[in-house]
Amino acid sequence: MSLAIVHSRALDGLSAAAVSVEVHLANGLPSFTLVGLAETEVKESRERVRAALQNSGLSFPHNRRIIVNLAPAELPKEGGRFDLPIALGLLAASDQIDATRLEGFECAGELSLGGELRPVRGALAMSLALRQEQSTRCLILPEASAAEAALVSGVRVLSVSHLLDLVAALQPGSDASLRTASPLARVEAAAQPDLSDIKGQAGAKRALEIAAAGEHSLLMVGPPGTGKSMLAQRMAGLLPAMSDEEALASASVLSLVGQFEPARWGQRSQRSPHHSASSVALVGGGGASIVS
C-alpha cells in the first residue's frame, strides 16, 4: 500500500491532543515533504528517520515522493516525538511492516541515528488523555517514558528500546510481543514545613488555617522580613494529602515540562516568583507563593 496512518499525540497546553501521522508514497521526483504546522525540530525528523532506518538495516523509499501530513493541520507540533510514528508510517506504506496492526497503537518517541529510542516529554499527559477518551489503543513509548506513563491505571503501555524491536513485532504473521512497561516506584512524599516551626504570628497562622480549611485564596502584604514567604511555604503542609487523581494531574503538568520525578509524587508544587514579575512571567513558569 502507498498510504499509512499512525496515531500519536502532540502537547497542547496542559493536554495531549490526538494527531494522525499520514504517510503517502507517490510516484515522481524523489522528495520528502512534511506538512501540518510542524516546528523546525519536527521537520528535522526527516534526516533522523532516514538515518535510523538505514542504520537499522531497513529500507528507506529514497526513489519515491514522500508526503507526511500531521493532522489536524491547525495544531502546532513540536519536539522529536513524531520520529517514531513517521518511521512506522514509512515502513507501513512501503509494506515492510503490517499496516493493519498499527490501528491498535498510539506511539511517540525520538529516534537516534542508530535507531535507539529516546524519551519524550508529556508521557503522563498522553496516558491520561487515552484513559479520559476511554480509548482501547495501547501506548508505545521509549523505556524511560513508558515507566512514567504506566503510572496511569487502565492504560496498557508498551516499552521499546530500539526501532527493530517494534518492527519485529509488527511483521506480517509475527508472534513477537512487546514488553509491558512497569510503573515507576512511587516514593513517599517528603514532610512539608510545619506551622509549629514559627513562633508568634498568631493572626497570620489563623488566616492560613482558615484559607486551607475553606479552600480560599490568601493575600499577604507587608514589608520585607515580616515572614510572608516563611508562612506561605507552610501552606502546603496544612492541606490534606493528594488523592491519586490529584497526584496524577500534578505529575502530568510536571511531565509536560520534563520536571517530573518519582520523589515528587503526591507533593504539592509551590512557586515563588518575584513581586515585580509580570503576568506573562507568572503564566510562563514563575511560580508571590502559589500552592496547588
Check the CA dihedral 241-246-248-250 and report its sign.
Answer: negative
The whole-angstrom distance between residue 145's C-alpha and the CA centroid of its chain comes to 8
- List pLDDT tens digits, range 170-198: 887 776 788 899 888 766 666 778 888 88
Q: Which of 19, 20, 27, 17 has its CA nearest to residue 4? A: 20
> pLDDT per residue over 65-78, tens digit each?
999 999 999 999 99
Query: Would you place residue 281 in the very low, low, confident or very high pLDDT band (cuts 50, 70, 90)?
Result: confident
Beta bridge partners of 290: 271
**For 235-265, how does the pLDDT look when each residue is reduced to its tens digit (9 = 90+)?**
888 888 888 888 888 888 888 877 887 777 7
Question: Is this prediction's pTM over 0.85?
Answer: no
pLDDT in tens, 120-153: 999 999 999 999 999 999 999 999 899 889 989 8
Tell which CATH classification among 3.40.50.300, 3.20.20.210, 3.40.50.720, 3.30.230.10 matches the domain 3-180. 3.30.230.10
CATH 3.30.230.10: which residues of the chain? 3-180
> Residue 154 contacts by C-beta under 8 Å, 6 or more apart in sequence?
131
Q: Which of 109, 79, 77 is nearest to 12 (CA)?
A: 77
3-state helix, strand, coil in the chain (%, to 5): 35, 20, 45
Grid coordinates in use for 25? 508514497
